[in-house]
Structure 1
Amino acid sequence: MTHRSTALITGASAGFGLALARSLIARGWRVIGTARRADRLERVESELGEAFLALPGDITDPAHRAELAEIAGGFGHLDLLVNNASRLGPSPLPRLADYPLNELELVYRTNVIAPLAVLQFALPLLGADGVAVNISSDAGVEPYPDWGGYGSSKAALDQLTAILGAEHPDQSIYAFDPGDMRTEMHQAAFPGDDISDRPEPATVVPALLRLIEQRPKSGRYTVADFTAGVAR
């Protein structure tokens, strides 16, 4: 029987996650997709057909993660994990001195704790042949005013990714910064602004596919590292 590559994508109902799911399925993959908005995820399932398995739920919910682990484990393997689901935080973005701590806790639960929890069950399924990707942001590197909540959570995710790579040298574990994109979350960060000059998520997907295909050493990469198809 021919092996069918299987991916698990969080935040798969819109934006970059949806664009990636479409691209992988067009290449013959099976995609397990999760997102909080069940209605959106059902529309994706209707569009993409039987190759897309929709599992709506909140990635911060341990019961939902247990369901994902059971479904992924039922296939016996994973070829790709993409932790794409993220929480921006309040909009407009508040400065850290005024940041509601209950909101900051939600940002960290979504952007740091949940990706690690997913990796904890996914790494054994990925093995030495699979690839794990945590979607990062330049806000995790640059100290942009008003981006302290989201940015610091992505900085924590970057460090978590780097340590996992060091602890699992036989596996491919990456942080990938896709840059600014024309997404609903990016619009929420700039309420009322025109963000039509940002690239569509589908235009960024080929860079991530090159990362997956080329498999450089584990680490943090940006879309610019793969726009020419050559890793740094």
Structure 2
Amino acid sequence: MPGIFLNDKETHVSDTKVALITGGSSGLGRALVAALSAEGWRVITNGRREAQLMVATAGLPGVEGVPGDVTDHVHREQLVATVRAHGRLDLLVNNASTLGPIPLLPLAQRTVDDLPEVWRTNVGAPFALAVEFLPDLLASNGVLLSISSDAAVEHYDGWGLYGAAKAALDHLTLTIAAENPGLHAYVVDPGDLRTPMHQAAFPGEDISDRPEPVSVIPHLRTLWRRPLASGRYRAADLPVTEEAAV
């Protein structure tokens, strides 16, 4: 099969849809990776902890785990090269996230020195990936999905840095959509889920009443099966068609 050349490297165009999901070693990211693998997608995902990422992706057909920190530009170049080796990108999910300094404290007890970690992970890295892959997504009639939070629009004690970063991510994602009408771009609040990050926000508390991440997959699936108008959505409000439920 003849290849096309991108960045001076021979690249074969895949007939299989390709997704990049950041933060796929746990929580919602892991659930998304498993769901797309089951649908027959080629999935590239990453995580800071190599052992955890390898366990999360083991046995999942079509999944490539690339360990590393999404805030590291060298690692992002690895992700770009891995995606481009398939010659297409149909779905970019900016899922990797951080709460910032733990424990969560009121803003009056924070300083500007607390900003960089949460900003690089929740805003800078997803923005860089969205811009890098914009031509690929436009070429494939693809989907840009940024995982947001109700903290981006509500004001909760201790969640100020995280919420501000998610609000910025929302704005950047939907401005890219406004500037590129051919792009399907979404920010989605998945709701409170039973994830390691949510547990870290409530140390010592029982969060077993929160639903598992897999519970929102039928709602999110609608976005790449039958794309809606670009915008901000709550996962619970996304329609679940019979097609998207399986």
TM-score with structure 1 setting the length: 0.94
Give the structure 1 partner of residue 165 of structure 2: 153
* Amino acid of the structure 2 residue aligned with 1:15: G
* 1:5-24 equivalence runs, <5 A: 5-24=17-36
1:210 deviates by: 1.1
* Amino acid of the structure 1 residue aligned with 2:137: L
Q: Aligned residues: percent identity? A: 51
Give the structure 2 partner of residue 226 of structure 1: 238
2:117 matched to 1:106? yes
* 1:29-68 equivalence runs, <5 A: 29-49=41-61, 51-68=62-79
1:91–1:191: 8 Å Cα contact kept in structure 2?
no
1:75 paired residue among 81, 86, 90:
86
2:152–2:164: 8 Å Cα contact kept in structure 1?
yes
Give the structure 2 partner of residue 85 of structure 1: 96
Give the structure 1 partner of residue 152 of structure 2: 140
Per-residue CA shift, 1:112-164, capped at 9, x if unaligned? 01000011111111125110100000000001111001011001111111111
The 10-residue stretch of structure 1 (131-140 or 100-109) with the greater mean CA deviation from structure 2: 100-109
1:99 deviates by: 1.5
The 10-residue stretch of structure 1 (72-81 or 177-186) with the greater mean CA deviation from structure 2: 72-81
Give the structure 2 partner of residue 178 of structure 1: 190
Q: 1:99 to 1:229 in 2, by over 3 A?
A: farther
Give the 3-state SS of the residue equivalent to 2:233 in structure 1. strand
2:218–2:240: 8 Å Cα contact kept in structure 1?
no
- Write 1 or 2 for the structure with the bigger share of helix: 1
Q: Structure 2 regions of 5+ residues with no counterpart?
A: 2-13
1:211 deviates by: 2.0
**What is the aligned residue count?**
229
Give the 3-state SS of the residue equivalent to 1:207 in structure 2. helix
Q: Structure 1 regions of 5+ residues with no counterpart?
A: none
| Structure-2 separation of matches of 1:45 and 1:95 | 37
Structure showing greater Rg? 2
* Amino acid of the structure 1 residue aligned with 2:63: F
Per-residue CA shift, 1:188-222, capped at 9, x if unaligned? 11111111010000111111101222211111111
Flag as ranges the 4+ runs of structure 1 deviating above 6 A: none
1:87–1:107: 8 Å Cα contact kept in structure 2?
yes
2:54 matched to 1:3? no
Give the structure 1 partner of residue 138 of structure 2: 127
2:216–2:236: 8 Å Cα contact kept in structure 1?
no
| Structure-2 separation of matches of 1:12 and 1:87 | 13
2:33 matched to 1:27? no
Give the structure 1 partner of residue 213 of structure 2: 201
